């Protein structure tokens, strides 16, 4: 078991290595959710005056969306990096390691979890500087767990696509997946204000629960009723997409 943990650690370090050594490459991914949050709140800010909006401030309402978007981008980037590793042959080296395939996947996905905290932290720093209320430590810890969980799920999605297409050209597919997953939820407005078709999608999209789980601490108090669906949803996503990713890996080598 310690061997396995050490392997996960080593692969995660390699994933993180990329940010530390090529910081320029990570900048767009870190900035994008913040730009999005600032832009949306500047443009659509008045939407919060609609009756039925449960936050008085649109920016506060949209901050959790940005955090999850960062997780989504990070997950997609993990898929793109894996596709590059497949193209260049590095992935063969990983598959040649005498380790269980889930351990290798955990190494790849684990770094996505840690990396997803970077755009979220930057976003929160900007948001707090602009006057978004401090939600409390426990609330932030819950948000961090959910952000990391969603990053893991989206990284598994990226891995599935990367293993299927084996080329970085599949990047838009990975990004599109995370875009739809995070935003076709109650991202823009409370459920009651969504148009019928979007409400229908948001109702079946498990990320809606994850988003509401992150959001509750920003717009009000954390309740168990909003927390457990979020935790169940994110766990389910990780399990299902993780199983698909492991299956994809077994198909490559075996």
Which positions touch another protein (CB under 8 A)? Answer: 3, 6-7, 9-11, 14, 17-18, 21-22, 28, 31-32, 35-36, 38-47, 49-50, 85, 88-100, 169, 172, 176, 179-180, 183-184, 187-189, 193-195, 197-198, 252-254
**Cβ(152)–Cβ(109) below 8 Å:** yes
Closer to another protein at the Cβ: 236 or 253?
Answer: 253
Using left for φ > 0, alpha for ψ between -120 and 50, and beta otherwise, residue 52 falls in left
Closer to another protein at the Cβ: 92 or 221?
Answer: 92
CB of 192 to another protein, least distance (A): 9
For residues 145 and 96, give the distance between their C-alpha atoms in angstroms, rounded to a whole number: 32
**Cβ(158)–Cβ(73) below 8 Å:** no
CB of 144 to another protein, least distance (A): 24
CB of 11 to another protein, least distance (A): 8
Q: CA gyration radius for the chain? A: 18
Catalogue the long-range contacts made by 244-247 (C-beta closer than 8 Å, 24 or more residues apart).
Answer: 244/156, 244/160, 245/105, 245/109, 245/156, 245/159, 245/160, 245/163, 246/101, 246/102, 246/105
Closer to another protein at the Cβ: 145 or 180?
Answer: 180
CB of 240 to another protein, least distance (A): 23
Closer to another protein at the Cβ: 130 or 141?
Answer: 130
Closer to another protein at the Cβ: 106 or 189?
Answer: 189
CB of 8 to another protein, least distance (A): 10
Distance of alpha carbon 220 from the chain centroid: 23
**Cβ(165)–Cβ(83) below 8 Å:** yes
């Amino acid at each position: 078991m310690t061997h396995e943990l050490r392997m996960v650690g080593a692969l995660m370090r390699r994933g993180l290595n990329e940010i530390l050594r090529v910081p320029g490459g990570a900048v767009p991914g870190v900035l994008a959710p913040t730009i999005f949050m600032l832009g949306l709140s500047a443009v659509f800010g008045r939407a919060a005056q609609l009756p039925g909006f449960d936050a008085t401030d649109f920016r506060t309402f949209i901050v959790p969306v940005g955090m999850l978007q960062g997780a989504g981008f990070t997950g997609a980037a993990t898929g793109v990096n894996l596709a590059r590793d497949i193209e260049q042959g590095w992935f063969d080296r990983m598959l040649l390691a005498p380790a269980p395939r889930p351990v290798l996947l955990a190494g790849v996905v684990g770094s996505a979890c840690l990396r997803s905290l970077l755009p979220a932290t930057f976003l929160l720093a900007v948001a707090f500087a602009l006057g978004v209320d401090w939600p409390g430590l426990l609330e932030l810890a819950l948000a961090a767990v959910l952000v990391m969980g969603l990053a893991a799920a989206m990284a598994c999605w990226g891995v599935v696509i990367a293993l299927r297409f084996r080329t970085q050209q599949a990047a838009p597919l990975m990004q599109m997946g995370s875009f739809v997953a995070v935003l076709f939820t109650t991202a823009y407005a409370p459920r009651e204000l969504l148009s019928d078709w979007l409400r229908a999608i948001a109702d079946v999209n498990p990320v809606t629960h994850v988003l509401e789980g992150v959001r509750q601490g920003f717009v009000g108090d954390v309740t168990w009723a909003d927390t457990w669906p979020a935790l169940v949803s994110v766990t389910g996503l990780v399990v299902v997409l993780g199983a698909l990713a492991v299956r994809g890996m077994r198909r490559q080598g075996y």
